[in-house]
Every structure is written in C-alpha cells, then in structure tokens.
Homo-oligomer: A and B are copies of this chain.
C-alpha cells in the first residue's frame, strides 16, 4: 500500500502539480516498485485513461527526474521509478534491466553491474545500456 502523503510529497519535491491524474499514475509506479511499466499496463489500471494525458504525464515525470525509461529490445517503452535522487535533466541511475521474453515483465537491477566493452579509438562512451533477457520467476 502506498500512503497518499508520500505521493504528494514526491510530486511536490519534483515540482509537479498535484493533480488527480498524476497522483494516480505515480501511485501505480510506487505500488510496483522496481518494475517498469508500459503505457498499456498503466492505461489498463487508470480510472480515466487518456493516452495523450498519460503521454504528457510520463514525459513530465521523466523530465523532472521521477521516472526513467527502460529500453525494450522490441521497441516498447517502459518506465520505472527512479531509485536514486534524480532531478530535472539529471538522471543518476545507471543500472541494468531484466526483461522476461514471455510475459514482458521488466524490472530494474540494482545490484552490481560490471560492464567491459571497448569502443573504437576516437570514440567517446558516455552511457552504457544493458538489458538482460530471459524468463522471470513466474514464467520459468
């Protein structure tokens, strides 16, 4: 269960207006901690789902450092709550994700992630994007 108090606090600390829609969306994210949610998954759980408003809400949340995008090899966008203290245009969370090839469930992997890959000489690597694919505990 998510306390309304925490929802409001989170919206305020990220300079987002406390509207009914945003409270509802943020609650969904906070309730499914560590799991990345797609637009469809979110829409299906909203009282009054409007895909355009959701689109802008997610953009605002991402912009203000509340959620981050989890890349999907299939092209589906999924968002998850930022674990670190991210702010506007300053996302600090750099972690891998796991995605189940059967149910699509996508989770953030907080644990140690070591990546060693060399780009050609003259190239500058700024970010690393790692996704593990396989079967989740329920689909195994």
A: residues with CB less than 8 A from B are 69, 71, 73, 75, 77, 96, 98, 101, 107, 109, 111-137, 140
Contact = CB atoms under 8 A, between A and B. Distances in A.
B123 A127 contact: no
- State how many copies of this chain the complex holds: 2
Contacts of A115: 114-117, 130
Contacts of A117: 96, 109, 111-115, 130, 132
Contacts of A132: 117, 119, 125, 127-129
A130 B128 contact: yes
Contacts of A128: 130-133
Contacts of A140: 122-124
Contacts of A122: 136-137, 140
Nearest to A111: B118
Given A101-B126, A119-B134, A123-B136, 20 more contacts: A73-B129, A75-B77, A98-B119, A98-B125, A109-B118, A112-B117, A112-B118, A113-B117, A115-B115, A122-B136, A122-B137, A123-B134, A123-B140, A124-B134, A125-B132, A125-B133, A126-B134, A126-B135, A127-B134, A129-B132
Contacts of A127: 132-134
